[in-house]
Structure 1
Amino acid sequence: MLSFRRCVAHVVVGAAAVTTASIGAGGAGAAPVAACAQASADVAIHSTVPLLDWSENFGIDGSGNLWVSRVLRGQVQRYDSDGRLTATVEVAAPGAVRLGPDGLIYVVTGNSPLAGTGGIVRFDPDAPNPTAFATGFPQPNGAAFDTEGNLYVTAADGVHRLRRDGSEDMDWWAGVAVDGPNGIAVSGDSVYVTANFVAGSGQVARVLRLSRTDPAVSTTIADLTSFGTMPDFVDDLVVRDGILYVTTLAGHLVRVDPVSGIACNVLSTQPLTAVVADPANPSALLAGSEEGTVLRIRPIG
């Protein structure tokens, strides 16, 4: 998430090196959890200009190409399986990139405090010409589709659910109570959300579960911290084999069991922004970074 909140989080987190977690609705101050077996990482896509190439988010099209949101450049870039740049599409302050059930690429736009009202654009990945799908969201960031084709979008005013025709389910939005939502992933009836600056608690780095069928139901899975009990800042997440993998500002990839809430750190590196399954390797993940590099990560344990 690119925002003023992240600037605050930079001051809070600093150069943290160890991730811990408190389970359930607890707060900071929990004892460190056992470390996972460490993952290996190598560079899948190099950064051309560090920071300017900030890889805010990315998605995969039906041909296995990777689409990377370069939020500071105002572009979404397409890379082939060899990491070669093959197309560039102009999208203002792009956020999440997701493949829709219709085979089109959907991109969050306006993911910046300077962008004003944002929305969602979509385009054919083979002939990219973005057109508006939905508008009117303040600083939207994350996005995820469910199996019915509904699109869930995180924004400064909560979590939205859009129908396949682009209209919004206002009753669903009104039922959700999440402050500072960021990343989002859907699996079955569960809508997993990362959130920072939770209302009433000041909690940074919370992983939540919402219900697709009853958005008023919200369960805290884990609160993540770094450098002992200092709060981290959670960004994106993905579900792989029933386990959540969460990226953080302190540069951690955190493994979270959504059933037990047990969390542990599988990788410590530069600040991470987004994470997706690697289309070229089912055992690996791809993670974006603020520096702009895209890493290929092979989690263990």
Structure 2
Amino acid sequence: MVGSASLGSGALAGAAPSTSCGPARQDVAIRSTVPLLDWSENFGIDARGDLWVSRVMRGEVQRYDREGRLTATVAIASPGAVRLGPDGLLYVVTGNSPLAGSGGIVRFDPAAAQPIPERFAIGFPHPNGAAFDADGNLYVTTGNGVHRLLPDGTEDMDWWSGVDVEGPNGVVVSGNSVYVTANFVGADGPVGRVLRLARDNPADTTTIADLTSFGSLPDFVDDLVLRDGALYVTTLAGHLVRVDPKTGATCTVVSTQPLTAVVADPANPSALLAGSEEGTVLRISPAL
């Protein structure tokens, strides 16, 4: 999340929030051209396995092939999450900035020679994360909660009215579970939290884990992905953290620069791709 993610980054960077998951391999998948200007806010993977990177500071989404070569650029204002829809189109959050005003969702055909974004939904303050469920509904995290959009772009207002999540950021859906990262100020101070909402009843909300840095200080949680039954969460302090969604147990996969997003690597079944504020895209292979 641009804006919130920048607060306190120098104070938190480099601290370990939990025990190590074991040795992990880390290398550069896509190198930043201009640090910070290349801020890699989020990712999406199209049906061909190409990676689309949201360069939020540049106002564009860039396509890279499996060799890491830049092959296309689509202009989108303050892009956030990029998600492949059941119709084969890519859906991109736009307006992911506290300065952007009202934002929304656009979509385009990633296979087109010159993709042209078209509006899908509007009217969301500072939208950021997004995820589809098995029925084609799109969940979007925004400055005023978590929204569920039906396949025709209209909002399920009954679902939204049942949600009570402050400071949502990343979101991923699996079965009846909607996993959300959230950052807010609680009774004991700032909290970076991983939550589970029930898809059929969003009022049924469970805290899975609170992530910390410097032993007990809170960390800022950003994006997350579910892979092989585990959640992988990126944090401002530069950690990729594995969270067991059943027990809440956590361990640190790697500690590096501030991380913004994470996705399964389409070219490597054992690896994840992680974005960064600096702009570099890292390939990380967790210990098994």
Q: 2:32 aligns with which of 36, 44, 47?
A: 47
The equivalences for 1:218-297 within 5 A come to 218-297=205-284
d(CA) in 1 for partners of 2:186, 2:283: 35
Q: Which moved more, 1:97-106 or 1:194-203?
A: 194-203
The equivalences for 1:144-163 within 5 A come to 144-163=131-150
Q: What is the CA RMSD across the aligned residues, in angstroms?
A: 1.1
- Give the drift of 1:135: 0.2
d(CA) in 1 for partners of 2:74, 2:5: 26
Q: 1:123 aligns with which of 91, 108, 116?
A: 108
Deviations 1:249-301 (A, max 9, x none): 01000000000100010101110000000001111110000000001110114
| Corresponding residue of 1:93 | 78
Q: 1:77 aligns with which of 62, 76, 84?
A: 62
SS of the equivalent of 2:9 reads: helix
SS of the equivalent of 1:6 reads: helix
- Give the drift of 1:38: 2.7
Q: TM-score, length-normalised on structure 1?
A: 0.93
| Corresponding residue of 1:65 | 50
Give the total of aligned pairs: 286
* Identity among equivalent pairs (%): 73
Counterpart contact for 2:12–2:213, Cα < 8 Å: no
Counterpart contact for 2:14–2:257, Cα < 8 Å: no
- Give the drift of 1:200: 4.9
d(CA) in 1 for partners of 2:48, 2:207: 36
Q: Given residue 282 of structure 1, which amino acid in structure 2 is its aligned partner?
A: P
| Corresponding residue of 2:12 | 14
Q: Structure 2: 5+ residue runs without aligned partners?
A: none
| 1:197–1:164 Cα change, 3 Å | same
| Corresponding residue of 2:88 | 103
Q: Given residue 88 of structure 1, which amino acid in structure 2 is its aligned partner?
A: T
Q: Given residue 27 of structure 2, which amino acid in structure 1 is its aligned partner?
A: D
SS of the equivalent of 1:171 reads: helix
| Corresponding residue of 2:2 | 2
Deviations 1:103-154 (A, max 9, x none): 0000000000110000000000012100000000000000000000000000
d(CA) in 2 for partners of 1:124, 1:201: 46
| 1:199–1:149 Cα change, 3 Å | farther
Q: 2:122 aligns with which of 128, 131, 135?
A: 135
| Corresponding residue of 1:27 | none
| 1:218–1:201 Cα change, 3 Å | farther
Q: Structure 1: 5+ residue runs without aligned partners?
A: 21-33
Q: Given residue 140 of structure 1, which amino acid in structure 2 is its aligned partner?
A: P
SS of the equivalent of 2:104 reads: strand
Counterpart contact for 1:9–1:233, Cα < 8 Å: no
- Give the drift of 1:199: 5.2
d(CA) in 2 for partners of 1:176, 1:201: 23
Counterpart contact for 2:12–2:236, Cα < 8 Å: no
- Give the drift of 1:10: 2.4
- Give the drift of 1:7: 3.1
d(CA) in 1 for partners of 2:68, 2:210: 35
| Corresponding residue of 1:169 | 156
d(CA) in 1 for partners of 2:17, 2:2: 22
Counterpart contact for 2:22–2:253, Cα < 8 Å: yes
